[in-house]
């Protein structure tokens, strides 16, 4: 584990930017026994929160109850991260409308006014971030063509950040 330094701060900055750009990752409750679900994340950096729009009739939303420990796993190119935190349900139609876009609509075809929609708020507690030394695209290419042994994918030591 690496202590957060200016480089760690840069890694954390890169993580937030990547989530804001790509948005999609896997969200799961750590003790629910359910598989993680693909979700679109919306970043609230100042409060170190991630927001997700979900339907109340899904296993994930129903398992949240009064709150639960969760993990959001995210990959963007050579950056891989696992963010831990607490998840809760929030009824806030104005915030939901602010986050609503074509990508969300594609996953939730009943539309913004579906009464079964809710927000999931993840209060981020900590994160581990790995960055591949040679880049995953190059690694995949070289492995596919047998040009490199497996040990060439060098992952940085994980940067660990406390987010609360």
Q: Check residue 154 and give its pLDDT.
A: 52
Question: Do the beta carbons of residue 120 and residue 89 sit within 8 Å?
Answer: yes
Number of H helices, E strands in the chain: 5, 8
Which residue would you say has higher pLDDT here, 98 or 79? 98
Cα torsion 43, 47, 48, 51: sign? negative
Question: Which residue is it, tokens 């994340």?
Answer: 41
Q: Check residue 54 and give its pLDDT.
A: 96
pTM exceeding the 0.75 threshold for the entire prediction: yes
Would you tell me how many other CB atoms lie within 10 Å of the CB of residue 148? 15
Domains and CATH numbers, the chain: 6-162 (2.30.110.10)
Strand 49-55 versus strand 117-131 pairing type: antiparallel
Tell me the residue ranges of DSSP E strands in the chain. Answer: 24-29, 37-40, 42-44, 49-55, 68-76, 79-90, 117-131, 159-162
Average pLDDT score over residue span 122-130: 92
Q: Check residue 143 and give its pLDDT.
A: 54
pLDDT band at 124 (very low <50, low <70, confident <90, very high): very high
Q: Check residue 12 and give its pLDDT.
A: 85
Average pLDDT score over residue span 58-70: 90
Would you tell me how many other CB atoms lie within 10 Å of the CB of residue 58? 15
Say how many CA atoms lie within 13 Å of 30 toward its Cβ. Answer: 14
């Amino acid at each position: 584990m690496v202590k957060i330094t200016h480089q760690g701060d840069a890694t954390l900055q890169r993580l937030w930017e990547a989530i804001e750009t790509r948005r999609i990752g896997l969200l799961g409750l750590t003790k629910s026994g359910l598989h993680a679900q693909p979700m679109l994340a919306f970043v609230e950096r100042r409060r170190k929160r991630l927001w997700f729009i979900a339907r109340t009739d899904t296993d994930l939303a129903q398992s949240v109850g009064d709150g639960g420990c969760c993990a959001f796993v995210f990959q963007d190119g050579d950056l891989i991260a696992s963010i831990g935190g607490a998840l809760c349900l929030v009824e806030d139609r104005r915030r939901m409308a602010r986050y609503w876009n074509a990508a969300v609509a594609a996953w939730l075809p009943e539309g913004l006014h579906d009464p079964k929609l809710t927000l999931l708020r993840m209060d981020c507690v900590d994160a581990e971030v790995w960055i591949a030394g040679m880049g995953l695209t190059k690694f995949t290419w070289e492995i596919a063509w047998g040009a490199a042994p497996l040990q060439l994918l060098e992952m940085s030591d994980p940067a660990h950040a406390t987010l609360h």
